[in-house]
Amino acid sequence: MQIDIKEGRYFLIDKPYTWTSFQVVKKLKIAIRKLTGEKKFKIGHAGTLDPLATGLLIVCLGRWTKKIESFQSLDKVYTGSLHLGATTVSFDLEHDEDTFYPTDHITEDLVRQTAKSFIGEQEQIPPVYSAVKIGGKRLFSYARGDQDVEIKSRKVNIYDFEITKIEFPEVYFRIKCSKGTYIRSIARDFGLRLNSGAYLSSLRRESIGDYDVTQALSPEEWEKKLISSELPDMTL
């Protein structure tokens, strides 16, 4: 199947660990340029995944870039793990642990009850190390420049929060949530609700709406298919 730049298509990507969402888009962009000879075309992703997260990333090309907002509005499912008893400034493994907290009072029952307390609509404050824009700048730009900035809360909805395994200090979970939900913020708040500390130690986006990571290909696999023009149908 040849690719039509103007009509475009979407790509379901299984984003590798440490890759930025921008790197994924750039990889596809270079492959499409080599394939078509076109220098200018619209391409972008429908929702950032942090570098230390893996899983489903939807990239849109051509006319499909007009559908980015509709993809972003879909509910998401994530799996991952929390590390209890410590915090980091980024709420994940991007930075070293900076503060430590007691965990002797934390039981498996308390962990499961705390997870249940998150279910429903709530106000959430995004992490300072995030791609949220304030005053035309990404929040992480303020953080890296040691600049203080007021971060407003936003409404999010947690539909399901299942604890799948507990191996203290690691707690494994599956979350279904609305658009705009930061799992790193849930990790921070989880620690607070336990009267302790917590950060996100792993994260994988399993699905976006009806699109599942099991349907996705790695950036390298997509590159090979673009070069050979063996593109799968978009009705995956």
pLDDT tens-digit series, residues 52-65? 999 999 999 999 99
Active site residues: 50
The predicted pLDDT at position 132 comes to 53
Are residues 50 and 106 located together in one domain of the fold? no
Per-residue model confidence (pLDDT) at position 5:
86
Question: Is 230 a residue whose pLDDT tops 80?
Answer: no
| Burial letters 170-190, b for 16+ CB under 10 A, else e | ebbbebbbeebbbbbbbbbbb
State the Cα–Cα distance between residues 102 and 87, nearest whole angstrom. Answer: 12
Write out pLDDT tens, residues 6-32: 889 999 999 999 999 999 999 999 999
88 domain-assigned: yes
**Residue 121: which H helix or E strand, with range?**
strand 120-124
Same domain, 215 and 105: no
Range of the domain at 171: 76-208
CA 143 to chain centre: 19
In this prediction, residue 112 carries a pLDDT of 98
Share the mean pLDDT of the chain.
Answer: 90
**Residue 143 binned pLDDT confidence (cut-offs 50, 70, 90):** very low
Does residue 91 sit in the same domain as residue 21?
Answer: no
Strand, helix or coil for residue 89 = coil
Mean pLDDT of 189-208: 98
> What is the C-alpha to C-alpha distance for residues 230 and 35, in angstroms, rounded to an integer?
12
Task: Judge if 122 and 152 occupy the same domain.
Answer: yes
Question: Is 97 part of a structural domain of the chain?
Answer: yes
Q: Are residue 112 and residue 164 in the same domain, yes or no?
A: yes
Determine phi and psi for 214, rounding to 5 degrees: -65, -15
- Looking at residue 174, what is its pLDDT? 98
At 4, the pLDDT band (50, 70, 90 cuts) reads confident
CA-wise closest residue to 44 among 18, 32, 56, 26? 26
| Within-domain flag for 234 | no
